[in-house]
Amino acid sequence: MGQVYIIQGDITKVEVDAIVNAANNTLLGGGGVDGAIHRAAGPELLEECRKLNGCETGQAKITKGYKLPAKYVIHTVGPIWRGGHKNEEQLLASCYRNSLQLAAENGIKTIAFPSISTGAYRFPVNRAAKIAMLEISKFLEDNDSIEKVYMVCFDEGTTQAYNEAFKEINEKE
């Protein structure tokens, strides 16, 4: 079965088949990890994104990685946290599920995720971490094609949240 690794660092530097971008609905670039990915990939990424006609919250679209070490970028749009009664948890789970599904369909074996929605979109990181770890674990149980999933956390607090969520899920089994 595929393995999950939680690491701290910059996702644009990770050598995997695909990195996931926490994009916005336009797919035309933004701040945070989105800005970092576009800067590292170069202007051709934005050119390809312009042809995609945006992306709905919870869905995912794939492009090439251009100057990134990763061959592909999977762009997914996390929900903006609005207090928890606007389907935010289900939408965040869909981001992970749909990104992994798209990766599997494209023969991707190693993939790296950032902490979707917990920056500018303000999703509480402890809740987000539980949802992410649960969706990734469920997917790997049912699907043989993905070998490694990296959760790339940018700061110490985020790393801690994902490590705790990972422990919780694995202790239950």
Binding footprint of ligand ADP on the chain (CB under 6 A): 10-12, 22, 32-34, 36, 78, 114-121, 152, 154-155, 158
Tell me how many degrees the CA angle 6-11-15 measures, rounded to the nearest 5. 90
- What residues act catalytically? 34
Distance in Å, CB of 57 to ligand ADP, minimum: 10
Q: Give me 170's structure tokens.
A: 């694995």
Distance in Å, CB of 91 to ligand ADP, minimum: 11
61's CB contacts (< 8 A; 6+ apart) are: 27, 52, 55, 74, 75, 76, 102
Q: Which is nearer to ligand ADP, 99 or 117 (CB)?
A: 117
Q: Which is nearer to ligand ADP, 139 or 162 (CB)?
A: 162
Q: Which is nearer to ligand ADP, 12 or 107 (CB)?
A: 12
Q: Which of 101, 87, 90, 86 is nearest to 20 (CA)?
A: 101
Distance in Å, CB of 136 to ligand ADP, minimum: 16
Instruction: Check residue 13 and report its DSSP letter.
Output: G
CA gap 56, 49 in Å, rounded = 14
Which stretches within the chain are classed as H helix? 32-41, 43-50, 88-105, 125-142, 156-172
Q: Which is nearer to ligand ADP, 86 or 171 (CB)?
A: 86
Distance in Å, CB of 172 to ligand ADP, minimum: 25
